[in-house]
Amino acid sequence: MNIEFYKYQGAGNDFVMIDNRQEVLNKNNTKLIAHLCDRRFGIGADGLILLENHDKADFKMVYYNADGNESSMCGNGGRCITAFANFLGIIKNKATFEAIDGIHHSIIENELVKLQMQDVKTIENHENYQFLNTGSPHHVQIEFDLEILDIKAEGSRIRYGAPYFKEGCNVNFVKKLSEDTFLVRTYERGVEDETLSCGTGVTAVALAMNYIGETEKNSVTLQTQGGKLQVTFEKKGQGYKNIWLIGPAAQVFKGMI
């Protein structure tokens, strides 16, 4: 079986993208999906995204981690699938689509893709970290020696340890650079390693830093290994609304496998 695919990346977070409106891919074949994401024996990606038909929205997004399992929301993936839908002619510069955590709106503007995230109603503030769900669960903690931190080792320890255990959690390490700019490095579950950026992760960082008073800004720049992303938001009580993840999303290549 031959499968046509496209490779997209958003701030270094890369995805295999497949137009699955004709159901060309068997979504229950976990081994195949993991193989496609394998960087040595397959195409190579942090995850695989299917664009599918939807009765009411412009399309449906189905996201799989590199381990082949369907996963929670992927912010950079949501931005990349918007660019993909534009390339396919499904949308022009605005989209409404369904992902695993509900309906999202997105806008393409000046070579950037803006994705509206779900509202965040609560943030757990612990002694050394914050926990919140931005479509995916995220642990956020400040690290002053972020540049030399062993992200894979420390991220794995937290991801599998208390209180997350088997279900796990994405882990974000943060260093404040200025009032509105933070350096972020993220360990992603499902990839089980550091990724060059994580959309739901930088969203979690921006909200957490505002929540604990590290910034009073409602527009925050997040510097990742893969480039810069921006998060804007409005505070609502103990939570946040009108949250937008903003950054580049580009097609890298297409092929057959």
Give φ, ψ of 119 to 5 degrees: -60, 145
CA 31 from chain centre, in angstroms, equals: 22
Annotated catalytic residue within 37, 74, 80, 169: 74
Q: Is the pLDDT of residue 1 over 90?
A: no
CB neighbour list of residue 224: distance below 8 Å, 6 or more residues apart: 11, 12, 183, 184, 185, 186, 196, 197, 198, 202
Q: Is the pLDDT of residue 237 over 90?
A: yes
pLDDT band at 94 (very low <50, low <70, confident <90, very high): very high
Q: Is the pLDDT of residue 167 over 90?
A: no
CB neighbour list of residue 22: distance below 8 Å, 6 or more residues apart: none
Q: Is the pLDDT of residue 244 over 90?
A: yes
Q: What is the pLDDT of residue 192?
A: 94
Q: Is the pLDDT of residue 65 over 90?
A: yes
Annotated catalytic residue within 37, 80, 169, 198: 198
If you ran DSSP here, which 8-state letter would residue 81 be given? H
- Give the model confidence (pLDDT) of 210-220 as tens digits: 999 999 999 99
CB neighbour list of residue 31: distance below 8 Å, 6 or more residues apart: 68
Q: What is the pLDDT of residue 204?
A: 98
Residue 74 is a catalytic residue: yes
Q: Is the pLDDT of residue 166 over 90?
A: no
| Structure tokens given for 70 | 């369907």
Average pLDDT rounded to a whole number, residues 34-53: 97
Residue 198 is a catalytic residue: yes
Alpha carbons within 13 angstroms on the beta-carbon side of residue 220 total 34
Chain position carrying tokens 């496998």: 257
- Give the model confidence (pLDDT) of 172-186 as tens digits: 999 999 999 999 999
If you ran DSSP here, which 8-state letter would residue 124 be given? E
Q: What is the pLDDT of residue 227?
A: 97
**In degrees, to the nearest 5, what angle opens at C-alpha 129 toward C-alphas 125 and 132?**
60
Domains and CATH numbers, the chain: 4-109+249-256 (3.10.310.10), 124-246 (3.10.310.10)
Alpha carbons within 13 angstroms on the beta-carbon side of residue 228 total 8
Q: Is the pLDDT of residue 250 over 90?
A: yes
- Give the model confidence (pLDDT) of 101-117 as tens digits: 999 999 999 999 999 99
DSSP string, 137-165: EEEEEE-TTGGG--HHHHHHHHHHSTTTT
Average pLDDT rounded to a whole number, residues 128-155: 97
